[in-house]
Amino acid sequence: MKRLYFLIPLVFLACKSNPTAVSDKSSKSVSKPLEITYQVKQNDVSDFLKYLSSDELEGRETGTKGIEKAAVFLEDFLKKNNVKPYFSSYRDTLTNFKSPAFNIVGVLEGTDPVLKKEFVVLSAHYDHIGLEKNKQDDMINNGANDDASGVTAVAEMAKYFSETKANKRSILFVFFAGEEKGLLGSKSLVQKLKQQNFNLYAQLNIEMIGVPMKRDYLAYITGFDKSNMAEKINEYTGKKTIGFLPKEAEYQLFYRSDNYSFYEAFKKPCQSISTFDFENFEFYHHVSDEFKLMDIPHMTAFIQEFLPAVTKIATSPTQEITMNK
């Protein structure tokens, strides 16, 4: 997650949302939750996350040798799972960074001849903040939670859709660089997509899901009241998957991750999902944000619980997720 200056509360902010977990509005067409037989494998989650947050990658700072290794790793993963490059290669060069840097972008074409013209974006940023400037025993900001955990979730969703072909809409899988530099990767990409008249339905961006919250819902969504996405995800999963987190509104997290670049460009439902609630993880942008502190069973269960939601988003005959007026 892009550096948060949240130690001093933003006193001028006020949450306009009713601080309840989900909207109690009745939907005109409430669907039954999907039953997903596909099982996310805990070992796959662990192995992927362990490498992406390893010392070998030196904190994955944009423009460094460490993030180059991460890029190769992600390219190989997409290729192995038969996710095609969206551009001429998986690498989407940033137009707004001084040295070579790349988003990694893959696509699975939708199976429906009409709906495949619409796109769902599943994304996370694979960059982090690199090495500490001052000499100390541990100098590597591994970024396991921020945001190797989110990248792992998106990668597992790519594997799921590749194997099941459960997407009538086309899905863009995006791993952003430059997020920690000011959302540079997403800002660069949306300019190109806008020029292509990219037909975006919705974006789910995944941020910091490595540890669970002690709440009666699994995760929160940024910009809770901007769309009906929370309500629809809960409908699709049949669970209290998404809740309202007051701290999210207080710190305006909707504007602090790569979903905002897409929202700003397309004015469509583009929101981030997270389980970092300012109480459950002490090592934000810290060298102790390491693999050993990540809760792999939680991450596996998180991904599994979201499969019905992302499947319904990718298959619903109409665009059920809409912006609130």
pLDDT digits (tens, 9 = 90+) for 194-238: 999 999 999 999 999 999 999 999 999 999 999 999 999 999 999
pLDDT digits (tens, 9 = 90+) for 296-314: 999 999 999 999 999 999 9
What average pLDDT does this structure show over 249-266? Answer: 97
What average pLDDT does this structure show over 163-176? Answer: 98
CA distance 265 to 183: 13
What type of residue sits at position 269? Answer: P
What average pLDDT does this structure show over 20-38? Answer: 63
Among 15-24, 130-139, 269-278, the range of highest mean pLDDT: 269-278
Label residue 173 exposed, middle or buried (CB < 10 Å: 0-12, 13-18, 19+).
Answer: buried
In the prediction, which pLDDT does 29 show? 56
Domain 42-315 has CATH 3.40.630.10: yes
In the prediction, which pLDDT does 6 show? 42
Per DSSP, the residues of 247-312 read HHHHTTGGGSSTHHHHHHHH-S-EEEEE---SSS-S-TTSTT--GGGS-HHHHHHHHHHHHHHHHH
Give me the residue spans of the domains in the chain: 42-315
Q: 4: pLDDT confidence band, cut at 50, 70 and 90?
A: low
pLDDT digits (tens, 9 = 90+) for 130-158: 999 888 889 999 999 999 999 999 999 99
State the virtual CA torsion across 188, 232, 169, 182 in degrees, nearest 10.
10
Question: Is it the case that residue 123 has pLDDT exceeding 50?
Answer: yes
In the prediction, which pLDDT does 135 show? 86
What average pLDDT does this structure show over 275-287? Answer: 97
Query: What pTM does this model have?
Result: 0.92
Average pLDDT, the chain: 92
220 phi, psi to nearest 5 deg: -120, 165
In the prediction, which pLDDT does 30 show? 65
pLDDT digits (tens, 9 = 90+) for 67-115: 999 999 999 999 999 999 999 999 999 999 999 999 999 999 999 999 9
What average pLDDT does this structure show over 176-202? Answer: 98
Question: Is it the case that residue 8 has pLDDT exceeding 70?
Answer: no
Q: 271: pLDDT confidence band, cut at 50, 70 and 90?
A: very high
Closest residue by Cα to residue 55 from 140, 152, 150: 140
In the prediction, which pLDDT does 20 show? 40
